[in-house]
Amino acid sequence: DGGITQSPKYLFRKEGQNVTLSCEQNLNHDAMYWYRQDPGQGLRLIYYSQIVNDFQKGDIAEGYSVSREKKESFPLTVTSAQKNPTAFYLCASSKTGTGAFYEQYFGPGTRLTVT
C-alpha cells in the first residue's frame, strides 16, 4: 500500500527544545516537501528536496532544518529559533521532470504544540 507516513500525529514540546518530525514515502518519488499550515493562511512551503543529499529553502525556512540522506525519508527539525512553532505540519512528495506538472501527494500531518 503506497503512500506517505508522518509520525507522530500529535507532538507536544516545551519552548526552547528542538523537535524532529518524521516523513517517509514509498512512492519512489524524487521530490519531497515540508509545509506549515496555520488557520486561514493556507499552506506555506518550508523546505523542499529534489534529490538525495540536496534541498532548498522555501518561503519560511527560518528556524527549521532538514536532511535528505535517503530517497524515502525527509525529516524536519523545528529548532528553538522558530518563533511560533505551534502549527500543523504536512509532508508531501512528487515525481520530478523539466516542464512537467506533477501533483503532490500528502501525508496525514503532524500537529505540533509548543508551550
Position among 27, 43, 60, 61 found at the interface with other proteins (CB under 8 A): 43
Position among 2, 42, 53, 115 found at the interface with other proteins (CB under 8 A): 42
Q: DSSP strand E in the chain: where? A: 4-7, 10-13, 19-25, 31-37, 43-51, 54-57, 64-66, 76-78, 87-94, 105-106, 110-114
Bridge-partner residues for 91, per DSSP?
Answer: 34
Q: What gap in Å lies between CA 66 and CA 76, rounded to an integer?
A: 5
Position among 50, 73, 80, 86 found at the interface with other proteins (CB under 8 A): 50
CB 33 to other proteins: min, Å: 8
Residue closer to other proteins by CB (options 16, 84) is 84
Q: By CB under 8 A, what part of segment 96-115 binds other proteins?
A: 96-109, 111
Binding site for other proteins (CB under 8 A): 4, 6, 31, 33, 40-45, 48, 50, 56, 58, 88, 90, 92, 94, 96-109, 111
